[in-house]
């Protein structure tokens, strides 16, 4: 837990946030976006953590920031949540250059017994569907890079609940509250989903190896097409090009998902925008897939776009 505490207090400008408050057997840590409490056997006061030892300071407890209400009964629990949040945070737009603050977050969308955890940078959209039977609602939390690491320290299966101000993750002795983001996440995602005509089955290790080999040539873009094998093509200049082939099984599926599928979709949120494939896009969508086999769905065999990468068959 000391690792989680140090991560929360890391890179903060306010000296008081580098310290930890203890009150009534609970230790408090915050960076003003994340709020963590955990049981501890120490006297009340403000402490400094050095190595694995806490040292009482002369700081006034009244100077420590107020915490949101966190004594709420958990609503549901999710297995493997830290890993899901880690993958979602990879695609949350933390650059702040979209002009849409809500896209910097991770959306939790509950509808018809399914929780969709969604993130996007407006070019790649990542989604994970989980069966969760709670009433329909939606909220957005900050996609901070600290969050998945701290959740990992708390365990694989976590309880979740929320109020108007925060979402609370807990494992019994420890609770982590994350501020909600005001705003509305794009609701037209299902409307812009294409009909997928083809499904390619490829080995994760093979396509990852091919991408790393072709990376030095991929200064402009990477193209994917099928000619009996899946071809990955890139050019550094007009005269310096490289193509690699990997084994791929192709099937004609002709399917339009009724709901947003689990996986990564490389496509713009706005239909009029165009997108070119690059190494970063492709390696990111592959790295968040857990299984050895990857299914790639597209609607054009000559120019694979838009693309859905997933380890779940539609």
Q: What is the structure's pLDDT at 125?
A: 87
CATH hierarchy code of domain 189-310:
3.10.150.10
Domain with CATH 3.10.150.10 in the chain: 76-179, 189-310
Whether domain 76-179 has CATH 3.10.150.10: yes
The pTM (predicted TM-score) of the whole model is 0.88
Residue 269 pLDDT > 70 = no
CB 291 within 8 A of CB 204: yes
Mean pLDDT across the stretch 239-257?
91
**Taking Cα atoms as reference points, which of 26, 14, 5 lies closest to residue 65?**
14
Q: Based on the number of CB atoms within 10 Å of its own CB, is 168 exposed (0-12), middle (13-18) or buried (19 or more)?
A: buried
Beginning with the edge strand found earlier in the chain, give each strand of the sheet holding 20-23 in spatial order. Answer: 53-56, 45-50, 20-23, 26-30, 34-39, 174-179, 166-170, 158-162, 76-78
Average pLDDT over the chain, rounded to an integer: 86
Q: Is 252 helix (H, G, I), strand (E, B) or coil?
A: strand
Q: What is the structure's pLDDT at 279?
A: 86
Quick one: pLDDT band at residue 176, thresholds 50, 70, 90? very high
Return the top range by mean pLDDT from 66-80, 198-212, 229-243, 260-274: 198-212
C-beta neighbour count of 274 within 10 angstroms: 8
- How far from each other are the two terminal CA atoms of the chain, in whole angstroms? 40
Q: What is the structure's pLDDT at 245?
A: 94
Give the residue, 54 or 6, on which the prediction is more confident: 54
């Amino acid at each position: 837990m000391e690792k989680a505490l140090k991560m929360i207090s890391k890179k903060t400008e306010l000296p008081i946030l580098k310290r930890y408050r203890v009150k009534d057997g609970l230790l408090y840590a915050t960076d003003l976006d994340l709020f963590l409490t955990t049981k501890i056997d120490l006297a009340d006061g403000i402490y400094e953590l050095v190595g694995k030892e806490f040292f009482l300071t002369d700081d006034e407890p009244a100077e420590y920031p107020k915490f949101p209400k966190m004594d709420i009964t958990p609503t549901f629990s999710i297995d493997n949540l830290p890993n899901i949040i880690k993958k979602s945070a990879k695609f949350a737009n933390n650059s702040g250059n979209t002009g849409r603050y809500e896209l910097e977050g991770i959306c939790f969308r509950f509808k018809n017994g399914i929780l969709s955890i969604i993130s996007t940078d407006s070019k790649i959209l990542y989604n994970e569907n989980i069966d969760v039977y709670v009433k329909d609602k939606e909220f957005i939390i900050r996609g901070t890079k600290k969050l998945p690491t701290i959740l990992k320290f708390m365990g694989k299966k976590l309880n979740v609940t929320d109020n108007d101000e925060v979402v609370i993750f807990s494992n019994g002795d420890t609770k982590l509250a994350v501020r909600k983001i005001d705003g509305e996440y794009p609701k037209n995602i299902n409307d812009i989903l294409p009909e997928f005509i083809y499904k390619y089955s490829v080995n994760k290790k093979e396509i990852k190896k091919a991408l790393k080999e072709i990376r030095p040539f991929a200064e402009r873009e990477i193209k994917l097409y099928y000619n009996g094998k899946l071809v990955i093509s890139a050019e550094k200049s007009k005269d310096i090009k490289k193509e690699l082939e990997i084994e791929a099984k192709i099937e004609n599926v002709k399917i339009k998902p009724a709901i947003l599928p689990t996986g990564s979709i490389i496509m713009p949120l706005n239909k009029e925008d165009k997108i070119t494939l690059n190494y970063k896009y492709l390696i990111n969508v592959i790295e968040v897939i857990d299984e050895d086999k990857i299914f790639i769905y597209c609607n054009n065999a000559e120019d694979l776009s838009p693309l859905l990468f997933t380890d779940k068959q539609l």
